């Protein structure tokens, strides 16, 4: 799933469907629209299903490391730090306020790495 599709579906799940459900429920109570509970229940079920799909997609995205912008390698013996932002262009990196890096160490076998 592309980032754009994910963002659109997330907006629908977090904003559009709850707003429509709330609006219909309120108007059904005020104006006597039919099937208020059934329609709102259906919207809620669709929203919950969409939220589950987005949660699975998000978990896979982070598990695959697609949120990592680069790598910071620490040489503990020589006290040298090298970095690689090969996944992100310089222009895209400059547009970010925060970059997420994976920290590694080839010289320290006990180092577990952090994000």
Q: Express each pLDDT in 49-95 by its tens digit.
A: 999 999 999 888 878 777 788 888 888 888 888 888 876 788 888 88
Statement to judge: residues 59 and 40 lie in one domain: yes
The verdict on residue 99 lying in a domain is: yes
Q: Which two tokens stand for residue 11?
A: 């907006």
The domain containing residue 7 runs over which residues? 3-63
Question: Kind and range of the H or E element at 74?
Answer: strand 70-75
Statement to judge: residues 74 and 94 lie in one domain: yes
pLDDT digits (tens, 9 = 90+) for 2-11: 889 999 999 9
Work out how many domains the chain is built from and give that number.
2
Statement to judge: residues 7 and 56 lie in one domain: yes
Give the span between the Cα atoms of 42 and 49, in whole angstroms. Answer: 11
Q: Which two tokens stand for residue 44?
A: 């809620």
Examine the pLDDT at 33 and tell me if it is beyond 70. Answer: yes
């Amino acid at each position: 799933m592309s980032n754009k599709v994910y963002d659109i579906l997330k907006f629908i799940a977090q904003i559009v469907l709850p707003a429509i459900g709330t609006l219909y429920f309120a108007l059904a109570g005020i104006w006597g629209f039919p099937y208020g509970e059934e329609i709102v229940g259906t919207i809620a079920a669709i929203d919950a299903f969409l939220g589950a799909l987005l949660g699975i997609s998000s978990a896979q995205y982070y598990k695959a490391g697609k949120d990592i912008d680069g790598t910071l390698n620490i040489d503990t013996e020589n006290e040298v730090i090298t970095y690689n932002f090969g996944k992100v262009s310089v222009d895209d990196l400059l547009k970010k306020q925060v970059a997420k890096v994976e920290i590694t160490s080839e010289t320290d076998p006990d180092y577990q790495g952090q994000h």
